[in-house]
Amino acid sequence: MIRQAIARKLSLKKFINKKFFRFVGMGAANTLLSYGLYISLLQLFSYQIAYSVSYLLGILISYYLNTVFVFKSTFSFSKAFKYPAVYVIQYLLGVMLLVLLVELLNVSTYIAPLAVIIMTLPVTYYLSRKIIEGSNGG
């Protein structure tokens, strides 16, 4: 039992490391950049177009920030092509968790999305790392 506890602690330490904290920081920076872009685009386009363009550019910004600053890897067209899958998976998982929290656990609709972000963060990090670092991602 002690061996299992130590193994869990070590695996958690391997997962939550400097890269993970850089990932969270770059995610915050990307959110601010995407939001600023959305606000700017609102001056020229409808909110639907502004949101769509800022969301798509946010994925590209995320790929850039995560490649350069988080995982310190090299750019690749094949990785860039696969990277949006992270957001599709994050979205689908997020919707399922949101329904679970709101409908089954009666969590406030104001609080539930924040919980979803926290709960999907490890999955998003893991998938981003696997795509950007490939088999070297640990």
What would the pLDDT profile of 114-129 be if each residue is shown by its tens digit?
A: 899 999 999 999 999 9
10: pLDDT strictly greater than 80 = no
Classify the C-alpha dihedral 65-69-75-76 as positive or negative: negative
Can you tell me the mean pLDDT for 58-65? Answer: 96
What is the per-residue pLDDT for 2? 61
What is the per-residue pLDDT for 14? 62
Closest by CA to 71, choosing from 30, 29, 120, 129, is 129
Q: How many domains does the chain have?
A: 1
Can you tell me the mean pLDDT for 51-77? Answer: 94
Contact (Cβ atoms closer than 8 angstroms) between residue 121 and residue 102: no
- CA count, 13 A, side-chain hemisphere, 80: 12
43-75 burial code (b ≥16 CB/10 A, e <16): eeeeeeebeebbeebbbebbbebbbeebbebee
Q: Domain residues for 32?
A: 2-137
Q: Which amino acid is at 60?
A: L
Q: Over the Cα atoms of the chain, what is R_g? A: 17
Q: What is the pLDDT of residues 16-54, one digit of tens each?
A: 789 999 999 999 999 999 999 999 999 999 999 999 999
